[in-house]
Structure 1
Amino acid sequence: MLLLDPTSIDLATLRQLWTGARARLSDAALASVATAAEAVARIVAGGETVYGINTGFGLLAQERIPPERLAELQRNLILSHSCGIGEPAPREVVRLMIQLKLLGLGRGHSGVRLIVIDALQALLDHDALPVIPSQGSVGASGDLAPLAHMTAALMGHGRIDYGGEVLPASEVLDRLKLAPLELGPKEGLALINGTQYSTAATLHALFLAERIFGAALRAGALAVDALKGSAKPFDPRISDLRGQPGQIRVAKVLRELLAGSAIVASHHRCGRVQDPYSFRCMPQVLGASLDLLETAARTLVIEAGAVTDNPILFFDTDEAISGGNFHAQPVAFAADLVTMALCEVGSLAERRISVLVDPKMSGLPAFLIDDGGVNSGLMIPQVTAAALVAENRAHAFPASVDSIPTSAGQEDHVSMAPIAAHKAIRVARNTAGILAIELIAGAQGIDYHAPLATSEALGEVHAAVREMSPHLGADRMLADEIAALQSAVLGGNFAGDFLLHS
């Protein structure tokens, strides 16, 4: 059980939460929550008009709500905002979204009671995850619709995925002997204002990208050896002279992966002067992508522990100040960075596949198959990779530069962070598919150099590929093998020990 300090979150902790680690807020955080709740009680008792506590919302913020209708106000807020549509968000995203909401509330500036914290924690403890429609937020006044669906489940409305079984929320609460949550002043707004859905979805894309990037380094190095390409472009002196940190790190990993390869040693003094850019410029291109991913990671780590609801309470002075921390522009930019980085990872991999299947470029059998003509080999898998690259490019236009005014013009600029996050997730899956095809092509190329062996590190990669996709001696259906390798890339099987820094 991890004890979470919302003021001290790092990427390693978020990675653990993403993979399902159990966690709860620290006692210090819970004390801050209780103190803020007391401030809300004092504000309500004092009769002052404060947005979100005893007023309407958005354009209706000028409407004062009498004390006897405050509970109705909070209930209606959640039900009216539970209007998302589309496919349910992945369980990893929902679980992380709830954890991030706990972190934000745990800073003690939102004014919820401890009973709200307990209700959210109970969902996590029982693996009872609200079904969250993935569409309906523009990432501006918080992720209103997704977070409303989360909150509605606590109140017994909507549906909950209980350990993989989707049931009415009221039924799950009954099974768990949990009373439906009755919201107090400010609590509904505190729960649905915030960037937690956008941030969780973008972190999901980022952690997938981390696994994909590790696989891209291994697939790329395997392709270099399959081509009998040169390792000289990965000389540390070249990267050191440029000084870009991602480039330096990528070149180092590629050197290590190729070290000890008998294939590399066999052409030490061959007449080839230069390899295509997709091979020799891997440190420069993948390194730039790595730098983007790490920039995104830094933004998301900050956002994970941020207070992003509205108004924000300062209990030392009993002030509730309306601001705009719910605007998810930093998250939108981060998601678009992940998308752009992965687009280049996939684009470069597809070019290496194209070189390997071209006998004029690779010196290997056409389409990496014997008895060409009767057999098409990897002709069409390269086409599949090209199709995925084209789709990635279509997703690469940044959502973060778009905006549609909402709420009768009150919310006149929005971030589109959830849309950016969804695109990043889609591009991650596509890129994993491209790398699956490159792994098959690289392994096939290595086979043609026998009895020369690749390095020990790449031999392990080759063996892992062959467990899911045997040597292609004659044409067969490859769709299931590609899909299996794609899942393995997304699952981290080919990432090695690669991790992003933050």
Structure 2
Amino acid sequence: MTSITLEPGRIPLDAWRAIYRGAGVALDASVRPAIARSAEAVASIVAKGEPIYGINTGFGKLASIQIGLHELETLQRNIVLSHAAGVGEPMPVPVARLMMALKLASLARGASGVKLETIDMLLAFLDKGITPVVPAQGSVGASGDLAPLAHMTTVMIGVGEAFVDGVRIPAAKALAQAGLKPLTLGAKEGLALLNGTQFSTANALAGLFETERLFQTALVTGALSTDAARGSDAPFDRRIHDLRGHAGQREVGAVLLTLMAGSAIRQSHLTGDDRVQDPYCLRCQPQVMGACLDLLRQAAATLTIEANGVSDNPLVFADDGEVISGGNFHAEPVAFAADMIAMAICEIGSLSERRITLLTDPALSRLPAFLTPKPGLNSGFMIPQVTAAALVSENKQSAFPASVDSIPTSANQEDHVSMAAHGARRLIRMAENLTGVIGIELLAAAQGCDFHKPLASSAPLEAVRDRLRREVPTLEDDRYFHPDMAAANALIRAGEIIKAADHALPGLEG
């Protein structure tokens, strides 16, 4: 796998996507002097003995309590141990690796006061495959993702657990196997590692990347469903979308039109079909999916900025010799981005489920009931459509905006929070539900096209059908349906449907 060299402050979205997919991580050497100057500035402040929040004081509501010089290392260790209070299942390893890379990029901006040894420990974790076990629940997305980032940091000091080669082992053992010694955190380092939005941002980016692939797959299955229903491609005409002007709508319309170009099934609609207009789930794909694309791109822009920013507190301005306390840890931008992604997931799935329903209803599709050659004796796609409806409904229930919620914490010192953490964390689960819906549509659309033989679809859509049929044969009589769905989902997750279409599909970068 390729390695990504991070240039803090200038890291593009595709680099974060590659890291999430497993790429290695390196750090541009040019940033090391700035990191060192930041650490030296903290050391100078410590030597003066003036009370500065996060360096020689307590935290949160306890910020007025000054800590003596001889207790500063204990202070930083204590904040890590006390804040490691997460619950729930561990975050997935790819997301945890992404979180560490995000924290590395933030600290490497040279505004956090951490030592080079601390930076190198994060690099070593990413290089040697040491992934902290981080319980996924416990952050409210303000004052940083404190609990999850504390669990990340405990492993750096030899406490807690880590995944190494898929095995969960004690942190001390993981460090020893890698030839690493536990860190002794200096002034401000514990707080710098704990404070920040990297847990929320990593989860939001992971959800975004999964949704991008599902969005592209749904364009393909949407075109295939349109052909299966002998729908019209006239609503995809460029002139319609140019008059409205939305970029996403124009791109989706153009893609759908070219995906269906040359279809003999589509041609048959022109000569032997008395239907004047198709239902919205076919006709309005450019409007709905285009709006989803615009929304996803807006979320991507926000998260790219956040991934390149510094979100801990206080911040060290080494050139000015100042440490300033602010609120960059508040994850409101991430919360809004996560809510946008959740809405897009819901709408992509809702439209896909409506197409499944159309195909299984003979009154709408003019295909055999439930897409089986022998309705009555066989139930065909009757219950897969129910499953799709259940998954869509579950996603709707999960999509209530997290960003509109808040609950005061830390004795009302932190009196407004973003809830970005669970707003972002839900996205992978929602994307998995969406995978199930699109997988059922893929099966249903391919089955629908089978009824039009000997007429064929377009070259890209026939290639998609051929790829599916290598794994799942046409449904003649009822059989154990679950393996068919599992096979379709596996193809979607692996990007095989997009690859088979061999077609330029709009993504996050435009």
Classify the TM-score, shorter chain: over 0.9
Q: How do 1:411-430 residues align onto structure 2 when only pairs under 5 Å count? A: 411-430=414-433
**Aligned residue number for residue 163 of structure 2:** 161
User: Which amino acid is the alignment partner of residue 98 of structure 2?
Assistant: L
Inter-partner Cα distance in structure 1 for 2:491 and 2:121: 35
Q: Following TM superposition, by how much is the alpha carbon of 1:493 offset from its aligned partner in structure 2, in angstroms? A: 2.4
- SS at the partner of 1:267? helix
My pick for the range that moved more, 418-427 or 48-57, is: 418-427
Shift of 1:476: 1.0
**Residue 19 of structure 2 aligns with which residue?**
17
Report the secondary structure of 1:468's partner residue.
coil
Instruction: For 1:319 and 1:487, locate their aligned partners in 2 and report how far apart those are by CA, in whole Å.
Output: 53
1:486 deviates by: 2.1
Question: Residue type matched to 1:66 in 2?
Answer: G
In structure 2, what is the equivalent of residue 87 of structure 1? Answer: 89
Query: What is the deviation of 1:35?
Result: 1.1
The reply to whether residue 288 of structure 1 matches residue 296 of structure 2 is no
How far residue 48 of structure 1 moved from its aligned partner, in angstroms, is 1.3
Shift of 1:468: 2.7
Aligned to 2:314: 311
Q: CA deviation at 1:4?
A: 1.3
* 1:379 equivalenced with 2:387 (yes/no): no
- Any idea what the Cα deviations from partners look like across 1:30-63, whole Å, max 9, x if unmatched? 2211111111111111111100100000000001
Give the Cα separation in 2 of the matches to 1:249 and 1:464. Answer: 25
Equivalent-residue separation in structure 2 for 1:95 and 1:164 (angstroms): 13
Counterpart position of 1:225: 227
Alignment pair present for 1:36 and 2:38: yes
Question: Are the aligned partners of 1:147 and 1:197 in contact in 2 as well (CA < 8 Å)?
Answer: yes
CA contact (8 A) 1:158 1:168 kept: yes
Structure 1 CA distance for aligned equivalents of residues 445 and 419 of structure 2: 39
* Alpha-carbon distance, 1:481 to partner: 2.1
How many aligned residue pairs are there? Answer: 502
Could you tell me which amino acid in structure 2 is paired with residue 501 of structure 1? E
Q: 1:259 aligns with which of 247, 258, 261?
A: 261
Aligned position for 1:179: 181
The aligned counterpart of 2:154 is 152
1:476 to 479, 483, 497: 479
Alpha-carbon distance in 1 for matches of 2:262, 2:133: 50
SS of the residue aligned with 1:494?
Answer: helix
Please give the per-residue CA displacement for 1:234-265, whole angstroms capped at 9, x wherever unaligned: 00000000000110011111011101111111
Q: Which residue of 2 aligns with 1:366?
A: 369
Determine whether 1:276 maps to 2:279.
Answer: yes
Equivalent position of 1:63 in the other structure = 65
Q: 1:213, 1:495 within 8 Å by CA — same for their partners in 2? A: no
- Distance in 1 separating the partners of 2:96 and 2:494: 18
Which position in structure 1 is the counterpart of 2:245? 243
Q: Could you say which residue in structure 1 is the equivalent of 2:119? A: 117
Cα deviation digits, residues 363-421 of structure 1 (max 9, x gap): 10000001111100000000000001110110111011000100010010010001111
Deviation at 1:464, TM superposition (A): 2.0
User: Which amino acid in the other structure matches residue 156 of structure 1?
Assistant: G
**Partner SS for 2:89:** strand
Question: What CA RMSD, in Å, does the superposition of the two structures yield over aligned residues?
Answer: 1.0
Match of 1:192 among 187, 191, 194: 194
In structure 2, distance between residues paired with 1:437 and 1:45: 65
Contact map agreement 1:211 1:494 (CA 8 A) in 2: no
Please state how far the C-alpha of 1:2 moved relative to its aligned partner. Answer: 2.5
TM-score, normalised via structure 1 length: 0.99
Partner of residue 142, structure 1: 144
TM-score, normalization by structure 2 = 0.97
**Residue identity in the other structure for 2:483:** D
Matches within 5 A, 1:373-412: 373-412=376-415
Amino acid at match of 2:347: E
| Shift in Å, 1:97 | 0.3
The 3-state SS of whatever aligns with 1:161 is: strand
Pairing partner for 2:336 from 333, 337, 341: 333
1:300 aligns with 2:306: no
- Displaced runs of 4 or more, over 6 A: none
Structure 1 residue identity aligned to 2:63:
A
Q: What CA distance in whole angstroms lies between the structure 2 residues aligned with 1:405 and 1:461?
A: 51
Whole-angstrom CA distance in 1 between matches of 2:15 and 2:174: 29
Give the whole-Å Cα distance in 1 for the aligned partners of 2:139 and 2:122: 21
Q: What amino acid sits opposite 2:94 in the alignment? A: E
Give the residue type in structure 1 aligned to 2:48.
G
Distance 1:20 1:101 in 2: 17
> d(CA) in 1 for partners of 2:79 and 2:269?
70
Q: Does 1:501 align with 2:506?
A: no
Q: Could you tell me how far 1:178 is from its partner in structure 2?
A: 0.4
The alpha-carbon deviation at position 19 of structure 1 amounts to 1.1
Q: Secondary structure at 1:268's aligned position in 2? A: helix
Cα displacement string for residues 271-314 of structure 1 (whole angstroms, at most 9, x for unaligned residues): 22100000000000011111110000000000001000000010
| Aligned counterpart, 1:76 | 78
> What is the alpha-carbon distance in structure 1 between the residues aligned to residue 20 and residue 335 of structure 2?
19
* Aligned residues of 1:140 and 1:415 also touching (Cα < 8 A): yes
Match of 1:46 in 2: 48
Question: Which residue is equivalent to 1:2?
Answer: 4
Rounded Cα–Cα distance in structure 1 between residues aligned with 2:115 and 2:61? 27
Structure 2 unaligned spans of 5+: none
Query: How many Å apart are 1:29 and its aligned residue?
Result: 1.6
Which residue identity does 1:297 align to in structure 2?
A
Q: Which amino acid aligns with 1:107?
A: R
Deviation at 1:361, TM superposition (A): 0.5
